[in-house]
Amino acid sequence: MPVLLVTSSSSLHDSVVPLCAAAGVEARVCADPALALASWHEADLVLVGAAAASAVAALAPARRPGVHVVGIAPGDAVFKYAVELGAASVIDLLEAAEWLVDVLADVGERASPGRTVGVVGGVGGAGATTLACALAQWHAAHAPALLVDADPLGPGLDRLLGMEDRQGVRWEALVETAGRLGARALRESVPRRDHLGVLTWSGLRRRLDVPTVRRILPSAVRGHDLVVLDLARQGGPALAELVDRCDDLLVVTPATVPGLAATARLVADLGRDARAGLVVRPGGLSDADAAQVTGLPVVAAVGHQRGLAASVDRGLGPLTGRGPLARAARDLLADAA
């Protein structure tokens, strides 16, 4: 059952139920708090009417996420019962109906967030953007994936995937919006091809707005099985913050003396833990050398991909059929899972 509404108020019923219908989610309305306990843990979202909050709190239901107290101009006294229930918020429908619509839009989404994988080049030209695209393409063949462009000086991920003409929301539009963005709304608004979505810029003048990223990423991971961040190597404090938000970090580097030296400095600045791994491109040094110099384990080695440039130029993206990129994407995502 998606939504449980505990109330005997006809006005609250008439305010909430139409919002549920508009969001396309089923709502069960229960006037008796005792009877509501039977569905307390089955519902994806529990809305407790302000007038019923004291009676529900007296029953001491087990705490769970996704509980909100709702009312029309609820008084201050209701906050005491909201705390006893472990409610996430008290919602005044006169002021926060739009917020509730966004919450309802996420009902039925995954109970736990998707996985976030960051990809960064240890040195310029290492192929981090290519790997990020390949990871998102591989996963999108089976489930929703979002590729997030966090490198303002990059080529534009929609261009690499042949999606630059697809309609959808870019970073510029999100910066101009405020408030919470639902997971479903984000998934359906960005440029998409089947299960693959991409969030990037539309113009040449680009700047990564960190507050917007903080607001958008939680919705991204609620609405997708996999979120891949293509990170800017010289991103400063923003890079460190985004890395901290990743479940896994892949650092791409050529196995050369200059490449590994630069990568070692980047890794030292980021101070990553065991969740970081090295993806090695061809060079004169061994995987053991790469691990020793950088302090990171080698989790994949990606050889040269024949026809890569032609594939991107044709709008197919870097991942086409079999090859080193496909094998690396498969193995890396299997390890992350």
**Span 23-67, pLDDT tens digits:** 778 889 999 999 989 889 988 889 999 999 999 999 999 888 889
Average pLDDT, the chain: 90
Ranges of CATH 3.40.50.2300 domains, the chain: 3-105
Calpha distance 51→71 (Å, rounded): 8
> Which of 178-187, 202-211, 321-330 comes out lowest in average pLDDT?
178-187
pLDDT at 87 over 60: yes
Q: Is the pLDDT of residue 300 over 90?
A: yes
109 pLDDT above the threshold of 80: no
- Domain 115-336 fold: Rossmann fold (3.40.50)
Mean pLDDT of 171-192: 84
Q: What is the pLDDT of residue 218?
A: 87
CATH 1.10.287.1080, applies to 3-105: no
Which of 8-22, 194-208, 323-337 shows the lowest per-residue confidence on average (mean pLDDT)? Answer: 323-337
* E-state strands within 7-138: 27-30, 45-49, 67-71, 89-92, 115-121
Sign of CA dihedral 87, 94, 50, 78: positive
> Please, where in the chain does CATH 3.40.50.300 lie?
115-336
